[in-house]
Chains A and B, each alone.
Chain A
């Protein structure tokens, strides 16, 4: 039971990094622990504290579970949060 309680209070999201942002932080994904009620903005704030995180812009594009999302979007835990550099397809 204790384990179940623990799983309710501890939330993680998987942060995906690409292209220049992956270069900046030296990796392509990070498991990040977040507090309940955290938003995309909180995740970006946590990323900025990591080595190389100061090379991310203050308000990058973000997608939650493959959909573009606002900085104010709330996270419930378990999401895939992708930080999207300026796109350049074509």
Chain B
């Protein structure tokens, strides 16, 4: 199991290789990517920030929980920070297991828990030049509204 917060591009193929094992008949990859619209507003990018040390600690707890609940031992989670553009991968969860059902279930568990409790924030950048904190419902400081 490995978790990481990174400032670099996530190398998905490397993560898939990392969890691969001859004993595993299933490998499930979830990728979160930056999309072009949110709540009807045209998005050009997202600036991700985090409480880095706690985020890594929570991600490690989630990987551990997934391992206990679903019997998976091959889990890797990476979340990227910084300014990402449309289509960029912000998060990758890769899980391998002997069989597909536990691999699928564990992967779903990891991404749902990550979104629920890992201290990471999105500052959405809109086509009209404004910026807003996702979930907080407030414009960002310095936003030209």
Judge: A and B partners, yes or no. Answer: yes
Size category of the binding interface on chain B: 20 to 34
Select from chain B the residue with minimum beta-carbon distance to A55. Answer: B138
Given A87-B120, A88-B134, A90-B111, output 16 extra A-B contacts at Cβ < 8 Å. Answer: A18-B49, A18-B51, A19-B123, A20-B140, A26-B141, A63-B51, A63-B54, A66-B51, A88-B120, A88-B121, A88-B122, A89-B120, A89-B121, A89-B122, A90-B32, A90-B90
B contact residues around A82 at 8 Å (CB) = 51, 54, 119
A contact set with B: CB distance below 8 Å: 16, 18-20, 23, 26, 55, 63, 66, 68, 82, 84-90
Closest 9 CB pairs of A and B: A89-B120, A86-B135, A19-B121, A20-B136, A23-B141, A66-B54, A20-B133, A88-B134, A88-B122
CA of A66 to CA of B138 in the docked complex: distance in angstroms? 25
B contact set with A: CB distance below 8 Å: 32, 48-51, 53-55, 57, 79, 90-91, 111, 114-123, 133-136, 138, 140-141
Select from chain B the residue with minimum beta-carbon distance to A84. Answer: B119
Q: Are B54 and A85 in contact (CB under 8 A)?
A: no
B contact residues around A66 at 8 Å (CB) = 51, 53-54, 57
Q: Are A90 and B91 in contact (CB under 8 A)?
A: yes
Contact of B136 among A26, A68, A86, A90 (CB under 8 A): A86
A contact residues around B141 at 8 Å (CB) = 23, 26
Residue among A16, A68, A89 having the largest count of chain B Cβ atoms under 10 Å:
A89
